[in-house]
Amino acid sequence: MAVILAARRSAVCPRGGAFAHLRIEDMAAPVMQAVLADAARLAGLGAGDVDEVILSNALGAGGNPARRAALLAGLPETVAGMSLDRQCAGGLDAILLARALVDSGAAEVVLAGGAESYSLRPLRAMPQPGGGAPVPYEQAPFTPWPDRDPDMTVAAAALADRLALSRAGQSDWAVQSHAKARSMPDWPEIVAIHAVARDSFTRALTPQIAARAPVLSGSISTATAAVAADAAAFVLVVSDRIAARSGAVGKGLRILAGATLGGKPEEPGLAPVAAIAAALGKAGLGPADLAMAEVMEAYAVQAMACVAGAGLDPAIVNIGGGALARGHPIGASGAILAVRLFHGLHAGKGLAAIAAAGGLGTALVVSR
């Protein structure tokens, strides 16, 4: 059974903020080095022990950023690096893929996570079949059918309407997310990059401020949608043999199960519900067995719907605040959930879950 032995992340900075000048690898490499430094203290592992790097990235337009990050982090040139694009779910899927490599015996030490520079994402334009100037676009197509491929905010608004989740209720969720993030003691998870060691978006959001936030679509406002952001997060996944040899078994998280499932493409917000049920089922657990859960807050309505649909206890969800209080660095967001879980789960079982464009959901179940 694979073990997460160490986990770190950068701060999350909104697009155009403190990390606006940093390339993907500029954020990823310091985090990877910090994870390896933790592993060296815990288990005597070093860069030369790493078999593979798996990096999730959604906006970088190719070039295998995993390889670039591995080289900049000082890993051996023999580490090829594998880049993954599963949009928002990619950070968790990178960890599940690392687990599969370890459980199969194909690798014993894998760095897995994600990095995203929303600030430096390439400009995108689609050539026209009949000629003419390419047409710029913001959202890539996630299905072959335009009528089943809504804008993410429009889809969130439709979900709120269908589930009768009011703007006020969504605002309350966002206010609580910021409040929990402000009141939570710092966890030793953030690697300072250019002296930035705190999530810069977290603020004293009040119901009054949330009520005045501009509307994006329907009941969705700027207060109840996570801001685009830049960040990186990684974990070190090792085999039982490596963990046992180093005497570090009790210091990590055992990966009990995971699942990635597709649902209705036009309703991505609910996709994690089935993934959560599948992952818990594989682990032989139910929602009541969980001591902590990290659930993505791309939108307040999406988090609310998933918590209710999966039967999770809201009291254990996002105890240190969620993405509404941090921001959403797409390819890194799932890995950030796992890092938060690593540092916040002191005993028992934990869950990380995230939705992705195209109707995808991923869930990870771990045990301390």
Check if the beta carbon of residue 201 is closer than 8 Å to that of residue 12: yes
Quickly list DSSP for 45-76.
--GGG--EEEEE-SSS-SS-HHHHHHHHTT--
Catalytic residue among 88, 178, 306, 343: 88
Catalytic residue among 13, 178, 306, 328: 328
Question: Phi/psi at 259 (nearest 5 deg)?
Answer: -155, 140
Closest CA to 23 of 61, 53, 49: 61
Q: Could you tell me the CA-to-CA distances from 140 to 78, 143, 248, 262 in Å, in that order?
A: 33, 9, 43, 18
CA 213 from chain centre, in angstroms, equals: 25
Cα-atom radius of gyration of the chain, to the nearest Å? Answer: 19
Closest CA to 98 of 68, 71, 66, 72: 66
Quick check: is 88 catalytic?
yes
Q: What HEC string does 80-140 produce?
A: CCEEECCHHHHHHHHHHHHHHHHHHCCCCEEEEEEEEECCCCCCCEECCCCCCCCEECCCC
**CA max distance for the chain:** 64
**Bridge partners for 237 per DSSP:** 4, 110
- Cα atoms found within 13 Å of the Cα of residue 138, Cβ hemisphere only: 5
Quickly list DSSP for 302-327.
HHHHHHHHHT--GGGBSTT--GGGT-
Quick check: is 13 catalytic?
no
Catalytic positions are 88, 328
